């Protein structure tokens, strides 16, 4: 009996994870010196994976099943006591529980991956839905501000010129919401910008947004950060640095009080 034939069935049992004790140690020592048996073991393990997949997926190639069956069946009979082992090995049917356990484990892994992918899709959908809800609330705030009966509507005009440039401020004090729409605004010098100011009944003017008009002289400021509940006496516009100023720089180019 050649060395390869001696270890034929042991290779199949090792691929199944069912070889233990002295037999496993003897085979592992042989594998360190025998490249042919190492290749055979790799093939058997690949066949085992394909056979396991057959319980939860496509049918494996017939050659994989045949090669694994042949590895189990081609072991010749041995004399009692040879190499300190029993004269008979476990029959193929005794390995069925091992195949079933391997198939079940693989099925659990596959189901786990599918569940993980589904969870990721649900999280992504929830994130998209949250973003849409934020956009919807913002749109509703704008519409509510434009149509609010208690909104303060202010029209700003050029301080010392015909009322060609125009700005309209719509302000809801209780919610600190401000929408400003400007038209026919002249261009500003480089590194400069218009700044909108809320002028309260008492206290210093409050910055309400920096803006630059487009090529048509139009501009908007929507919901700038403002303190809560400030009563506005008027709104004004000055020309400031692009980053804005903590207090207005004279002169005031546009000014408007509540209607």
Q: What pLDDT sits at residue 251?
A: 94
Reported as a single tens digit per residue, the pLDDT across 115-126 is: 778 888 888 888
Identify the pLDDT of residue 51.
Answer: 60
Of the two residues 194 and 43, the one the predictor is more confident about is 194
Q: 137-175, pLDDT tens digit by residue?
A: 888 888 778 777 778 777 776 666 655 788 999 999 888
If pLDDT is split at 50, 70 and 90, which confidence band does 86 have?
Answer: very low
Q: Above 70 in pLDDT, residue 79?
A: no
Q: Which residue has the higher pLDDT, 89 or 241?
A: 241
* 193: phi then psi, degrees, rounded to nearest 5: -155, 160
- Topology of domain 152-257, CATH: Immunoglobulin-like (2.60.40)
Token pair in block for residue 96: 């069925």
- Tell me whether strands 206-211 and 166-172 are parallel, antiparallel or unpaired: unpaired
CA trace torsion 226, 228, 231, 237 (10° rounding): 0
- Helices and strands counted in the chain (H then E): 6, 8
Question: Residue 62: which pLDDT band, with cuts at 50, 70 and 90?
Answer: low
pLDDT of residue 85: 45
40-46-51 Cα angle (round to 5): 125
Q: Report yes or no: 254 and 236 within 8 Å, Cβ to Cβ.
A: yes
Domain boundaries, the chain: 3-109, 152-257
H/E element, 167? strand 166-172
Spatial separation of the C-alpha atoms in residues 8 and 28, rounded to whole Å: 13
Tokens found for residue 148: 């609010």
Mean pLDDT across 187-201: 95
Task: Give the residue-averaged pLDDT of 212-235.
Answer: 93
Q: Which two tokens stand for residue 236?
A: 């004004």
Greater confidence (248 vs 52) lies with 248
Find out whether the peptide bond into 37 is cis, omega within 30 degrees of 0.
no
Please say if the pLDDT value at position 88 is more than 60. no
Q: Note the pLDDT of residue 64.
A: 54
Which of 11-25, 47-61, 202-216 holds the top average pLDDT?
Answer: 202-216
Choose between 109 and 88: higher pLDDT: 109
Whole-angstrom Cα distance, residue 167 to residue 154?
A: 8
| pLDDT exceeds 60 at position 28 | yes
Mean pLDDT for all residues in the chain: 78
Q: Which of 231, 160, 229 is nearest to 199 (CA)?
A: 231
With a CB cutoff of 8 Å and minimum separation 6, the contacts of 47 are 15, 60, 64, 65, 67, 68
Q: Per-residue pLDDT for 257 more than 50?
A: yes
Average pLDDT for 211-217 = 92
Residue for token pair 């025998």: 34
* pLDDT for residue 157: 67
Is 112 a residue whose pLDDT tops 90? no
Q: For residue 18, what are the contacts with CB-CB under 8 A and spacing of at least 6?
A: 90, 95, 98
pTM of the model as a whole: 0.44
Half-sphere exposure of 182 (CA within 13 A, CB side): 32
* C-alpha count within 13 angstroms, C-beta hemisphere, residue 28: 9
- pLDDT band for position 114 (cuts 50, 70, 90): confident
Do the Cβ atoms of 102 and 48 come closer than 8 Å? yes
In 3D space, the residue among 15, 33, 45 whose CA is nearest the CA of residue 24 turns out to be 15
Report the pLDDT value the prediction gives residue 220, as an integer from 0 to 100.
Answer: 94
């Amino acid at each position: 009996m050649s060395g390869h034939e001696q270890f034929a069935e042991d290779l199949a049992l090792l691929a199944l994870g069912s070889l233990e004790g002295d037999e496993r140690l003897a085979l592992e020592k042989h594998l360190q010196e025998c490249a042919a048996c190492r290749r055979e073991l790799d093939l058997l393990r690949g066949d085992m994976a394909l056979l396991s997949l057959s319980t939860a997926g496509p049918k494996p190639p017939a050659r994989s099943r045949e090669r694994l069956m042949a590895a189990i069946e081609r072991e010749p009979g041995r004399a009692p006591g040879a190499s300190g082992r029993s004269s008979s090995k476990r029959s193929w049917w005794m390995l069925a529980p091992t195949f079933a356990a391997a198939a079940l484990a693989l099925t659990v892994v596959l189901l786990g991956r599918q569940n993980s992918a589904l969870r990721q899709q649900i999280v992504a959908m929830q994130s998209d839905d949250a973003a849409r809800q934020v956009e919807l609330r913002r749109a509703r705030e704008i519409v509510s501000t434009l149509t609010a009966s208690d909104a303060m509507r202010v029209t700003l005009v050029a301080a010392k010129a015909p009322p060609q440039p125009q700005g309209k401020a719509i302000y809801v004090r209780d919610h600190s919401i401000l929408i400003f729409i400007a038209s026919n605004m002249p261009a500003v010098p480089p590194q400069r910008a218009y700044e909108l100011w809320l002028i309260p009944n008492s206290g210093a003017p409050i910055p309400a947004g920096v803006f630059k008009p487009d090529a048509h002289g139009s501009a908007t400021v929507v919901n700038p950060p403002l303190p809560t509940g400030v009563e506005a006496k008027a709104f004004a516009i000055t020309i400031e640095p692009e980053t804005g100023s903590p207090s207005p720089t004279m002169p005031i180019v546009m000014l408007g009080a509540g209607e």
